[in-house]
Amino acid sequence: MSMDIIDRKLLELLQADATMPIAELAQRVNLSQTPCWKRLQRLKEAGVIRAQVALCDARKLGVGTTVFVAVRTNQHTETWAAAFTQAVRDIPEVVEVYRMSGETDYLLRVVVSDIDDYDRIYKQLITAVPLYDVSSSFAMEQIKYSTALPVRPAVTVTNNG
């Protein structure tokens, strides 16, 4: 799938605001509506654009506190991993989960209303699946949160690196 500078500009715009009408998108990239629309179809079909969603205000939903949870396991088995995966996917307060290299086996981002609320999720988690070690760090402030991925040309290979 080719991705020229116009496609990248479209992705940039749509990642910032997906309500923008095609007419406006088109003129921002100096195109008429039809080719612009065709590019969007192509990007969707290729799965580059994988969804269009509403973003909510975490504080207004009463989950303004983020907790990072570092998890270690002593059961390095496929069945444990499957159970853990299922458990975290089933808890909506757990919004991000990564399997890590290094000391920590898994890193979770959990959104809650306060410390007591976190304790509720913590208990839910350790009840659902056995954890060897759990270490929680609270975020004091969210300085940046972006769902927009960087859209840039394929890294150019040069000889003077």
Nearer residue to its own copies within complex by CB, 95 or 128: 95
Asked if 145 interacts with its own copies (CB under 8 A), we say yes
Size of site (CB under 7 A) for DNA: 14
Residue 58 interaction partner, one of DNA, its own copies, none, beta carbon < 5-8 Å per kind: its own copies
Asked if 157 interacts with its own copies (CB under 8 A), we say no
Question: How far is Cα 18 from Cα 11, in angstroms, rounded to an integer?
Answer: 9
Asked if 130 interacts with its own copies (CB under 8 A), we say no
In degrees and rounded to multiples of 5, residue 75 shows phi and psi of: -115, 90
Give the Cα-Cα-Cα angle 21, 26, 32 (nearest 5 degrees): 120
Question: How far is Cα 122 from Cα 112, in angstroms, rounded to an integer?
Answer: 11
Asked if 21 interacts with its own copies (CB under 8 A), we say no
3-state secondary structure of 62: coil
Chain contacts with DNA (rule: CB under 7 A): 21-23, 30-35, 37-41
